Structure 1
């Protein structure tokens, strides 16, 4: 039984890889398109689309007759190390994928360094102050982290290109030919990721500060620096699996940034291959990302165990519950919500769809306080009318992700990497393409695509916290007196997990909005004429260098949303 349980995560991961290969292989049929016709459009458009030309191409490329045969044939070759030959370029797939993976790994690691430095800079002063005086680690860092995490990577990248590369001429804007080419894309990816990481570490730090050993150390007169280092190690132990997920997520989700900076990474390779229906190349790129996700997910689990040390085996892991009963209620979330509500309510009577040629790309003025877009439409009105679409959809998606993440994470019997780590490595764009193939592009399809992978970091976070809770003394005591697994999970594990995961989920509300925006940017979400913030952002990016106010409206909305979700959890009262 023990051996079967140990093999279950491996079997689950293998099954997930097989299913993903089958889904990618089925894309042409999901799109109701002939793979031969798709390849013919790319390679030999001059041949025409006669049945004879299609039959000749099928014979030349040995195209599969159905998705099952294609997936099984490709997997059989992959097991022997042969990832196939591109249907478009007729070149072996393996060198292309490995080269793109090396580029993406370099970029992702550089972005992780930026994220780690950013998170440390945001949190270090508050942790040291809290370790010396007691109490929470500070609210300002939580606000700054959430606002930074709400900045769209593609917008930040476009601003960096326009200012640092074009206006100042300090760094190259496109390509990948040396360390200097990494700086701008690493900043574009790493700064928002650092904000999200800092927000998560802030929650873990507050839980660590509430654990009994912190009070004991203080009563012994332990130097504040030593207490701060202990708190930091305890918080990092909880967050290290998320850092592994962050690295893999940057590999697969940086498609828009890679395209903006002309970086030949594996995310762009997978997207281009899927769009061209070059299935061997797409299957290889997605599978490599998945395998790397499993490896890094396992590394995160092992690092978590190592940082917990002997406490995990000795039933000495304490679970702290921050005491919020004595905290003053903060006015900041209500102020942020009030400003956002004021902008929306006052903008709703304005016309979001009328085009006025004379005010194309007009700067902010009394008539258009937030400026006008490329068609002369009022950006204030479009922001107000798009708020319900963006905020409502993002909140709904996040709520679903939190519920699924809690169910999967608390229900997991071990912290081993599994299907969640597999899905985390799948680029959301690929999921969006699958959903669009089945249901057509649209806001609902984009929301489904974001939710399909958005629950994974929450599930891994819940899984990590649940593992720590099950290693605590009071949970082991409950097991020894005969409590059933369901009762232990419901009464002991879930209360220790739900608050940090809900706070993590709230921090991801702007992230969900950005995911929907990214799919809208690629034509898989809301239509271009929609006032949804992602569609407005996508339509404005081409003009950011000469009319930067065109991106101000959606970015302002996302920033205000981030302020609200950053501080609402801090206003709760203890039960």
Structure 2
């Protein structure tokens, strides 16, 4: 193939990729649930980023004379047992919830994907050893294992993040390994191997690129699950210590006053529900768009 033919071939590939991306975007915008999830996620991200300018009050300011006030024109979502504005605490709580969810998935992808790549590509005893460890980790209920790890490490947001990430890593390792097993015998991988490409170049530039779609979808779905898991640990007292605003801790604080002030728990629970719903519907929308099946 001469230089002109190579250039024309590369231009065709670029045009084809651009057309594919354009079609994928059009399919996504036609997916109502996916678009709804994207709107919810973007709304929470903006709320977390601009919390100081959006929150009407300080999330830590206590006013005992204003305790247990129902939703009103001054306090839109009411106040808690210490007179703190519930809306302000929910807005600031979005920061810890979103950051922890993204960090958990980032750790899971950053460790689990390379482990799955090595396991699936090399196979043999390496695959056997890694997969037995992964199977042992997946044999435990995820939340129970995260609860045990968080209890050993102690109550802290970063400890909760690492505890849940430790449960997430085997999931991404298993998913990546399955994708690598189906891709390593493809023609383009064999061609790269015959041309003398190194194993790591084959794994990163050929195998991982084609396995990125399911990993991206699972990662998006797992952010919602991670937010819910962090809220669960915080509800049990294993999240960030008070008075830091956190949705799970707010649920726990308000559970003692459900009869007289249900709004203390109702609105943080609604925030958790919407955040998980947003990432779940966004992940479903991405799956429908990116999955060729």
Q: Give the TM-score, by structure 2 length.
A: 0.71
1:367 is aligned, of 65, 68, 74, to 74
Report the equivalent of 1:378: 85
Deviation at 1:394, TM superposition (A): 2.0
Structure 1 residues 429 and 338: CA distance shift in structure 2, 3 A: closer
Report the equivalent of 1:567: 282
Which has the larger share of helix?
A: 2
Structure 1 residues 339 and 387: CA distance shift in structure 2, 3 A: same
Deviation at 1:379, TM superposition (A): 0.8
Checking the alignment, whether the CA contact within 8 Å between 2:221 and 2:279 is kept in structure 1 is: no
Instruction: For 1:339 and 1:480, locate their aligned partners in 2 and report how far apart those are by CA, in whole Å.
Output: 49
Report the equivalent of 1:392: 99
How is 1:43-442 mapped onto 2 (pairs within 5 angstroms)?
Answer: 323-326=20-23, 327-328=25-26, 330=29, 332=36, 335-337=39-41, 339-340=43-44, 341-342=46-47, 344=51, 347-357=54-64, 359-413=66-120, 414=123, 417-426=131-140, 427-436=145-154, 441-442=155-156
Instruction: For 1:537 and 1:468, locate their aligned partners in 2 and report how far apart those are by CA, in whole Å.
Output: 44
Checking the alignment, whether the CA contact within 8 Å between 1:350 and 1:381 is kept in structure 2 is: yes
Checking the alignment, whether the CA contact within 8 Å between 1:528 and 1:536 is kept in structure 2 is: no
Instruction: For 2:178 and 2:256, locate their aligned partners in 1 and report how far apart those are by CA, in whole Å.
Output: 42
Checking the alignment, whether the CA contact within 8 Å between 2:47 and 2:91 is kept in structure 1 is: no
Structure whose alpha-carbon radius of gyration is higher: 1
In structure 1, the gaps of 5 or more residues are 1-322
Deviation at 1:481, TM superposition (A): 6.0
In structure 2, the gaps of 5 or more residues are 1-19, 30-34
CA RMSD in angstroms comes to 3.2
Structure 1 residues 510 and 419: CA distance shift in structure 2, 3 A: same
| Structure of greater relative contact order (alpha carbons < 8 Å, 6+ residues apart) | 2
Deviation at 1:375, TM superposition (A): 2.9
Deviation at 1:502, TM superposition (A): 2.1
Q: Give the TM-score, by structure 1 length.
A: 0.39
The answer to whether residue 214 in structure 2 is matched with residue 500 in structure 1 is yes
Q: The residue matched to 2:237 in structure 1 has which SS? A: coil
Figure out how many residues of one structure are paired with residues of the other and give that number: 248
Deviation at 1:373, TM superposition (A): 2.3
Structure 1 residues 521 and 498: CA distance shift in structure 2, 3 A: same
Report the equivalent of 2:183: 469
